[in-house]
Structure 1
Amino acid sequence: MIKTVLFDLDGTLLNRDASVKAFIDDQYDRLSDVVSHIPKQEYVDRFIDLEQRGYVWKDKVSQQMVSELELKSVTWDDLLHDYITEFQHHCVAFPNLIPMLEELKKRHISLGMITNGYGQFQMNNIDALGIKAYFDAIFISEWEGLRKPDPKLFHRALTKLNASKQESMFIGDHPDNDVRAASNLGMKAVWKRDDHSETVDADGVVDDLMDLPTLLDHLNNDQSIT
């Protein structure tokens, strides 16, 4: 019986692609006096390409943007500060995020989150989604000194939640950092389908977050049979 569900954040609960697009569109408009010599679509596309879905931190991205696009009246540090302070105002949740969390809480499921990233930045995004109160524990790599897929980070979360790996499930979009890491540990591993990846070997796949409670029922029924 699964009693604990842990989540990834980016690409799982937070629609990061949509959020980044909303942020960089707005940044271009707000900095139009600085960047107007660059076509908007070129500016947006280059930022998205350089940041590689969040796997390149924005200091490197900002430096490259300033250099490549010959931005004269703004520094890379200005762009980085703008990202850190403004991104939270453009966070887009995947559909049915809150109803899904509400349903799991009704079932008295313990909820946790394990996300890579910078501590306060990620916490600001969690607050922006309005979901912090649903979670019994949140683990952010910078604050923990560990990053997924390190099994020690998963063990730490399970210990904090007083949960056994056999009665826990992890859901995330990354084939290695999320799904394979959780599966290798002995947890049920669920893939939040991601257009950037091929089919992933997982205990279950969800396209819509509201599919998760039903999948949970199926996994629990399978466990009871075996």
Structure 2
Amino acid sequence: MRLKKDYRYILFDLDRTLWDFDSNARNNIFSLLDKHKVQVSDKSEFFKTYDEINHKLWSQYERGEIKKEDLRWLRFHNAFLHYGIDDRSFATDFGEEYLEEMPNQNILMPHAKEVLKELSERGVKMALISNGFKEVQYRKLRNSGIDGYFSAVMISEEQGVHKPSPVIFKRALKAINGEKSSALMVGDDFANDIEGAMIFGIDQFFYNYKNIPCDGGPTYDSSDLRDLIRPD
């Protein structure tokens, strides 16, 4: 697949688009379970349980239904409950240690750095938009060695607004002096990244690495970030 036009401004999501959230989270949680000798029958099953709970709670957080502080401990407390562990204090400490260690994991999505490097060399201006926690996201960028590619970073917590609100897209594009007609949003989350970009009025690159059936009609639907740099 090749892009239909030459985009001069590209907005990127971070987690699961550039930074391999699932692999990094799994490695981090496995390490913490071992460190604290948590008795779970199967670490992979525990992670699956946690991931489902975390996804639901994140959606509530993005809708403003729960606070950040509650999300940080509830996701682990609720996961531990499935294994007969009902200890809010431990879940809180585990959650804080998880966040502290998370940015030290630095696995990127396939070809992420290669693509960012090529786009940068072509003179494309790039900004990053993330709904993650500010104290974690900046460290992820720095520790994985991709922070230097972005002229602007928009973290929802700092901006007071989450994707898919068009407000955060507008601020990101303005920060790099971009124009809508030459702008592209790249992300893996259809609701937050792709529909948000649609509402804002810029083209969208749905990084569909899980090959999810898609009826929403994004400008591009691809499982390979290298499609962003295919030659004309």
Q: Shorter-normalised TM-score: what interval?
A: 0.7 to 0.9
1:8 maps to a residue whose letter is D
Equivalent in 70, 94, 97 of residue 79 of structure 1 = 94
Tell me the TM-score normalised to structure 1 length. 0.85
Equivalent in 18, 26, 39 of residue 21 of structure 1 = 26
Equivalent in 213, 221, 225 of residue 205 of structure 1 = 221
Equivalent in 76, 87, 96 of residue 62 of structure 1 = 76
Q: Cα distance, 1:43 vs. partner? A: 2.9
Distance verdict in 2 for CA 1:161–1:84, change over 3 Å: same
Q: Trace 1:123-134 onto structure 2 (pairs within 5 A).
A: 123-134=138-149
1:105 maps to a residue whose letter is S
Q: Cα distance, 1:69 vs. partner? A: 2.9
Structure 2, unmatched stretches of 5+, are 1-5, 60-70
Residue in 2 that maps onto 1:44: 47
Q: Provide the C-alpha distance between the structure 1 equivalents of 2:79 and 2:191, rounded to a whole number of angstroms.
A: 30
Q: Trace 1:73-222 onto structure 2 (pairs within 5 A).
A: 75-195=90-210, 197-199=212-214, 200-214=216-230
Partner of 1:189, secondary structure, is: strand
With 79-88 and 46-55 compared, the bigger mean Cα shift is at 46-55
Conserved 8 A contact 1:17-1:53:
no
Residue in 1 that maps onto 2:63: none
Tell me the TM-score normalised to structure 2 length. 0.83
Distance verdict in 2 for CA 1:5–1:41, change over 3 Å: closer
Partner of 1:69, secondary structure, is: coil
Conserved 8 A contact 1:66-1:75:
no
1:93-120 per-position Cα deviation (integer Å, ceiling 9, x unaligned) = 0111111111101110001111102111
Q: CA RMSD in A?
A: 2.2
Distance verdict in 2 for CA 1:41–1:6, change over 3 Å: closer
Q: Provide the C-alpha distance between the structure 2 equivalents of 1:190 and 1:68, rounded to a whole number of angstroms.
A: 38
Distance verdict in 2 for CA 1:54–1:111, change over 3 Å: farther
1:184 maps to a residue whose letter is I
| % identical equivalent positions | 25
Q: How many residues align?
A: 214
Distance verdict in 2 for CA 1:176–1:44, change over 3 Å: closer
Q: Cα distance, 1:184 vs. partner? A: 2.6
Conserved 8 A contact 1:4-1:169:
yes
